[in-house]
């Protein structure tokens, strides 16, 4: 029984930045994201008793042994959850510009969780899928749902209360996300490594922990009231604060390049001229500009004229997991 699921990537407006349990992927803070409509992963899974190990192809190519093992360890969690004992064949197609630093682990593990549970013949709730996906990559817990999504950190040690929930469905509050690519180089410090070093060494991390809950409460209120300006102010503030923690890490690091700063400056300049837009940045140099559908075209044009900008990918609010067959 081969099953195929599709999951979209998401962009965090309130960042997940730090784990309290690295094995179970339990975060130190709750986070909030928008699921994006243009970037997604399609994953097919088929369990087969003739296989003596799990196999995995990404974009029709077999992956490295390290990557395969990572997927296989995740599938062990799926086997524990479903009671399935066979190995499986996994085929993933990424409709995400991976090299450009757009997170494909979120859509990847979310699609894999959904397809593998279905292929094992088990029914799971979205909450259960979010818990499973979380254990592949934290941000994947949020890609189970469409719209605006909150991943509640939970309190339990077993992680059973650490899952995402939708706070506003897609099609309710229309925002535009322009993914601005300034570099296609692979990340130097992966988010997993970067957040670990920050938690362990940055004296600024406590400041993050002390204030991120407040940011979340305020942005949720802004989203529920569809208050774009307030949402924008908070998301930009939260992103800058996350990146500030990395400067205090030991050894310190910074995900930005000079091109990143150029885009940030242009966003602030456009805003001063009355164009509604705000930026957020993940664990890499590319920038996501959040704007309104009305201002999108003009802002895209202005951003395109910056010499360091290589490509712009416009997105809107996207859907949660779907099954293709």
* Contact residues for ligand DP6, defined by CB under 6 A: 12, 15-16, 25, 31, 103, 105, 137-139, 191-192, 282-283
DSSP string, 249-313: SSS------HHHHHHHHHHHHHHHTT--EEEE--SSS-EEEEE-TTTHHHHHHHHHTSTT--EEE
Nearer to ligand DP6, 120 or 289 (CB): 289
CB of 101 to ligand DP6, least distance (A): 10
Cis ω for the linkage preceding 12 (within 30 of 0): no
CB of 51 to ligand DP6, least distance (A): 26
CB of 162 to ligand DP6, least distance (A): 12
For residues 52 and 212, give the distance between their C-alpha atoms in angstroms, rounded to a whole number. Answer: 46
Tell me which DSSP letter residue 107 carries.
H
Nearer to ligand DP6, 139 or 286 (CB): 139
Nearer to ligand DP6, 53 or 217 (CB): 217
CB of 165 to ligand DP6, least distance (A): 15
CB of 277 to ligand DP6, least distance (A): 20
Determine the residue with CB nearest ligand DP6.
138
Residue 76 CB coordination number (10 Å): 11
- Bridge partners of 12? 33
- CA-nearest of 143, 131, 148 to 5 is 143
Let me know: does 164 contact 150? Beta carbons within 8 Å. yes
For residues 214 and 239, give the distance between their C-alpha atoms in angstroms, rounded to a whole number. Answer: 14
CB of 86 to ligand DP6, least distance (A): 26
Nearer to ligand DP6, 15 or 302 (CB): 15
- CA-nearest of 9, 311, 269 to 278 is 269
Longest dimension (CA), the chain: 64
CB of 155 to ligand DP6, least distance (A): 19
Nearer to ligand DP6, 16 or 81 (CB): 16
Q: What angle do CA 254, 101, 287 make, to 5 degrees?
A: 65
Nearer to ligand DP6, 120 or 132 (CB): 132
Nearer to ligand DP6, 120 or 144 (CB): 144
Using alpha carbons only, how large is the chain's radius of gyration in Å? 19
């Amino acid at each position: 029984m081969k099953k195929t699921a599709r999951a979209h990537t998401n962009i965090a407006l309130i960042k997940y930045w730090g784990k309290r349990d690295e094995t179970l992927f339990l975060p130190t803070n709750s986070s909030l994201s928008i699921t994006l409509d243009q970037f997604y992963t399609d994953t097919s899974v088929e369990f087969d008793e003739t296989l003596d190990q799990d196999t995995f192809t990404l974009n029709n190519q077999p992956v490295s042994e390290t990557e395969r093992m990572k997927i296989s360890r995740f599938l062990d969690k799926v086997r524990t959850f479903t009671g399935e004992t066979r190995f499986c064949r996994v085929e993933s197609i990424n409709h995400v510009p991976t090299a450009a630093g757009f997170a494909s682990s979120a859509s990847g593990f979310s699609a894999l969780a959904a397809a593998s549970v279905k292929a094992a013949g088990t029914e799971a709730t979205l909450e259960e899928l979010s818990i499973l996906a979380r254990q592949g990559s934290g941000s994947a817990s949020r890609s189970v749902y469409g719209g605006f999504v909150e991943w509640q950190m939970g309190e339990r040690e077993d992680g059973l209360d650490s899952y995402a929930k939708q706070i506003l469905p897609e099609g309710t509050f229309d925002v535009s996300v322009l993914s601005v690519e300034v570099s296609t180089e692979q990340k130097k410090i992966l988010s997993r490594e970067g957040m670990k070093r920050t938690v362990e060494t940055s004296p600024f991390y406590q400041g993050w922990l002390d204030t991120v809950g407040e940011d979340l409460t305020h942005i949720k209120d802004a989203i529920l009231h569809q208050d774009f300006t307030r949402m924008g102010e908070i998301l930009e503030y939260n992103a800058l604060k996350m990146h500030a923690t990395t400067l205090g890490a030991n050894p310190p690091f910074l995900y930005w390049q000079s091109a990143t700063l150029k885009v940030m400056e242009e966003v602030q300049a456009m805003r001063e001229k009355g164009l509604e837009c705000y930026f957020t940045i993940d664990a890499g140099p590319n920038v996501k500009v959040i704007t309104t559908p009305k201002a999108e075209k003009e802002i895209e044009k202005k951003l395109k004229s910056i010499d360091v900008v290589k490509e712009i990918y416009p997105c809107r609010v996207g859907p949660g997991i779907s099954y293709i067959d």
